[in-house]
Amino acid sequence: MSAITTAASPTATPSPSSSPAVDAPPAPRVAPAKGRILATAMRRFYDDGIRPVGVDLLISESQVTKATFYKHFGSKERLVLDYISARRDATIESLTSLLAAHEDAAVGLRLVGDAVVAQIQAPGYRGCPFVNAAAEFADPAHPVRGVVTSFHEAIHELFEGALVRLGHPMPGEAADRLVLAYVGAMTWAYVGDVVAASSAVRGTIERVTNEAR
């Protein structure tokens, strides 16, 4: 899994251990045409934003017909929801694997920090895809916002679980800080100082894990 891959083969299976990454597009086993459309959406929605990318461009770059596009997705809205849901699922899977990679939960949390740093320092990084998507959909009741919320709830649960295993005295509160560090680093690295963001996320993880010693 590359640090910030923006397209994926529709038949490949990502390996969280191949290189540190916490947000790589998924590689679902789907019909080739549907896979090409989703892979194109992964790249275009992330690079250019969701709303500016039209169906005609997606169809052209995916090398499918309009009928094929609507057969598989029905609408751009359905594709957008599949896009952000796929990113959520791939990221949660990667984080889960990183946190389970070592018996010591502190090592797993450090691996997450390394993965975040690898991602935000990679060429082509354009910010957190979940923050970016939320910024484009102002209505908190929109399904895309629901996926973004579920993503952040899921990473909080993962962090809290790791901290419980570590014996942290206040795992919920500490998980709040880790989520803040995670989202902050992903955002700050794009709009500000990537070096400072990298140092900050690693420093927060160290402080939180040391509290459990």
Q: Which own/partner contact pairs does 150-155 have at CB distance under 8 Å and 24+ positions apart?
A: 150/88, 151/88, 151/91, 151/92, 152/179, 152/183, 154/88, 154/92, 155/91, 155/92, 155/95, 155/179, 155/182
What was the pLDDT predicted at 60? 97
What was the pLDDT predicted at 213? 78
What was the pLDDT predicted at 195? 97
What was the pLDDT predicted at 31? 83
Condensed to tens digits (0 to 9), the pLDDT of residues 4-32 reads: 333 333 333 333 333 345 665 555 567 89
What was the pLDDT predicted at 29? 67
Q: Look at residues 173, 145, 24 and name the one whose alpha carbon lies nearest to residue 95.
A: 24
What was the pLDDT predicted at 65? 95
Q: Which amino acid is at 139?
A: D
Q: Look at residues 153, 154, 183, 171 and name the one whose alpha carbon lies nearest to residue 209.
A: 171
Taken in order 59, 60, 63, 64, is the CA torsion positive or negative?
Answer: positive
Helices (H), the chain: 32-48, 55-62, 66-72, 76-99, 105-120, 129-136, 143-166, 171-191, 194-210
What is the residue-level pLDDT of the chain in tens, covering all 213 positions? 333 333 333 333 333 333 345 665 555 567 899 999 999 999 999 999 999 999 999 999 999 999 999 999 999 999 999 999 999 999 999 999 999 999 999 999 999 999 999 999 999 999 999 999 999 999 999 999 999 999 999 999 999 999 999 999 999 999 999 999 999 999 999 999 999 999 999 999 999 999 997
Q: Which two tokens stand for residue 175?
A: 């998980």
Residue found by looking up tokens 């990298």 in the block: 198
What was the pLDDT predicted at 4? 31
What was the pLDDT predicted at 23? 67
Q: Do 162 and 108 form a contact (C-beta atoms < 8 A)?
A: yes
Q: Do 147 and 81 form a contact (C-beta atoms < 8 A)?
A: yes
What was the pLDDT predicted at 10? 35
SS3 85: helix
